[in-house]
Amino acid sequence: MTFPLPRPVLDAEAGSGPGAFGTLPDWDLSDLYTAPDAPEYAADMAWLETECAAFAAAYEGKLAGLDAPAMAECIRRYEAIETTAGRIMSYAGLRYYQNTVDATRAKLMADAQDRITTFTTPLVFFSLEFNRIDDARYEAVFADPALARYKPVFDRMRAMKPYQLSDELEKFLHDQSVVGAAAWNRLFDETTAGLEFTIDGEVMSLEAATTLLSDHDRAKREAAAHELARVFTAHLKIFSRVHNSLAKEKEIEDRWRKMPTPQTARHLSNDVEPEVVAALRDAVVAAYPRLSHRYYALKARWLGLEKLQIWDRNAPLPTEAPRTIKWDEAQATVMGAYAAFAPEMAEIARPFFEKGWIDAGVKPGKAPGAFAHPTVTTVHPYVMLNYLGKPRDVMTLAHELGHGVHQVLAAGQGEMLSQTPLTLAETASVFGEMLTFRALLDAAKTPAERKALLAGKVEDMINTVVRQIAFYDFECKLHAARASGELTPEDINALWMSVQAESLGPAFEFMPGYETFWAYIPHFVHSPFYVYAYAFGDGLVNALYAAYAGGLPEFQAKYFDMLKAGGSKHHKELLAPFGLDASDPAFWQKGLDMIAGFIDELEAMEA
């Protein structure tokens, strides 16, 4: 049993207040706990210690003999433990990510993680012993109506059976985790949160510095790129050590478990077949010339450049006027797009804005990036943004709010069934982006405005599909290379450049220092091989949106049913009502064709 922290968040007590973007919302974490010293927090921690010991005493060595009613009670108690531990870690983790440089917050999270790991060590037997239940006995017990709904969870658990270690070794790995991957994760988070970049005399955070890469002023973009490279290079030994250690740790565990590839564990947790991921990856790589290579050649002409530099990749179009979008407008845009699709979707999203479920401002110590964390099914999700008033920030809001809506709908499945495999977890987020984009495109008043919107969407899709598959290839190469020995920073730099040159294409010239830009990407550290889920989600949503635009009967009802299912069904079963099948190689071409079609339209505007 593990309780991963939410991916990077800021201080709910330090309000954003009115500013250039209007009044930005802050989190109210009191729905989890009112304070670190709240009696409820202490009570839950004490209950967890007692209940974990009682659960182990009641069930260890006895799972195979339980009848259906007894097994149902066992699962109910296990789920209650997961809920309480998840609530504690959600609070400690979210509070930490609000200000990663605050020592008291770091201590609360580390202490919570350490205590919960200790409390739950006696529960390691559960999955190991469960996987030793005879297949016939397992099928007979889970045929009972009280247990049948849980079967997908335990089917996925039993998929790990061939890779299971001895009970003693599994307990050792569980105990050791707090000073293993979790410790390297913390070092990475605290290092990136503490980075300072000086650009045009202003000291700024990683979030602010990377945002300048999409500034209208090319000189500012160039200055930001060089300063990012300078700071990454100065810290490259730390980042290299983090990646070397995590990759080696994974290689050791995979070897002991006899995992056939470094990617196997991710595919199993995602409940997706390796051949489906391979088909996605191969389709995207084959499409590089007609997608990214073609688009960036077009962009170079728009910018009047022979070659694009890396600071031109996300540059606005020359005809696109600089614009700051206030928070109220961003909210209205996204909520309007959601409501036009289905009023129910907007109603589910409304409390995020009204009840302190979003933390939007950029603040000192706050972790970079954005995410939606589901916490536990008895509370509600929280969304983190670093809102800077850019058009892409509006799309990020649409994206993370989509996650939030999905998490709210899936909560009805309960703690064990609500979590969607990563391959489908990006569906609602990317669909929310597509709804918002289509609403903006329909409202465009001039060809120049339509062109800017189309170009922005193509760039977002390339970042989601091409860039993420390039990231996946980088990770595959890194883990393969690390298996042969320690990697120097220069070795990792070379792996990074090999995939960047291939994916971005001949329109680019790469500045010295860009080879270090792998260093700040959190997914490689927090969730190895996570990144293909973004491309999976984008391709899936493009196919879904084509079905919606084509007038598929009762699309909205089918869509909500899919989100409500959470992790209770396989992707084949979830996509069947839409006439889609991700195992069909032609499936991925539908999504890639949509991106190519947008590029076709942009090229036609040049004629």
**Residues 400-445 pLDDT 10s:** 999 999 999 999 999 999 988 777 888 999 999 999 999 988 888 8
List, as own/partner pairs, every contact residues 394-398 make where C-beta atoms lie below 8 angstroms and the sequence separation is at least 24, other chains included: 394/325, 394/330, 394/333, 394/334, 394/436, 395/433, 395/436, 395/437, 395/460, 396/370, 397/330, 397/331, 397/334, 398/334, 398/337, 398/432, 398/433, 398/435, 398/436
The pair of three-digit structure tokens given for residue 44, joined into one six-digit string = 């839950």
Quick one: average pLDDT of 49-69? 96
More confident residue, 545 or 5: 545
- Give the model's confidence band at 607: pLDDT under 50 very low, under 70 low, under 90 confident, else very high: low
Per-residue model confidence (pLDDT) at position 177: 79
**What pLDDT does 3 receive?**
39
pLDDT reported for residue 420: 86
- Which residues have a Cβ under 8 Å from the Cβ of 594 and sit 6 or more positions away? 461, 542, 545, 546
Instruction: Give the pLDDT of residue 7.
Output: 39
pLDDT at 87 over 70: yes
> Is the separation of the CB atoms in 341 and 435 below 8 Å?
yes
Q: In angstroms, rounded to a whole number, what is the distance separating the alpha carbons of residues 296 and 557?
A: 39
Whether 145 has a pLDDT exceeding 90, the answer reads yes
Q: What's the pLDDT tens digit per position in 231-273?
A: 999 999 999 999 999 999 999 999 999 999 999 999 988 888 9
Can you read off the two tokens belonging to residue 92? 């400690």
Q: Tell which residue, 326, 398, 406, 360, has the closest CA to residue 566.
A: 406
On whether the pTM is more than 0.85, the answer is: no
Mean pLDDT, the chain, integer: 91
CB of 377 closer than 8 Å to CB of 351: no
Percent of the chain that is helix, strand, coil (3-state, to 5):
65, 5, 30
Q: Please give the average per-residue pLDDT across 134-157, as a whole number.
A: 93
pLDDT in tens, 365-401: 888 889 999 999 999 999 999 999 988 899 999 999 9
**How is domain 29-179 classified at the CATH fold level?**
Butyryl-CoA Dehydrogenase, subunit A; domain 3 (1.20.140)
pLDDT tens digits, 34-46: 999 999 999 999 9
Q: Has residue 9 got a pLDDT over 60? A: no
- Lowest mean pLDDT, pick from 113-117, 407-411, 450-454, 471-475: 450-454
* Percent of the chain's residues with pLDDT above 90: 74
Cα 521–524–527 angle (5° rounding)? 120
Q: What is the pLDDT of residues 168-212, one digit of tens each?
A: 888 888 888 777 888 999 999 999 989 999 999 999 999 889 989
Contact indicator for 496, 477 with CB cutoff of 8 Å: no
Q: For every residue of 141-174, which 3-state class applies, written as one string?
A: HCCCHHHHCCHHHHHHHHCCHHHCCCHHHHHHHH
pLDDT of residue 167: 81
For 311-341, the pLDDT digits (tens) are: 999 998 887 777 789 999 999 999 999 999 9
Query: How much is the average pLDDT of 12-19?
Result: 39
Whether the per-residue pLDDT at 18 is higher than 70: the answer is: no
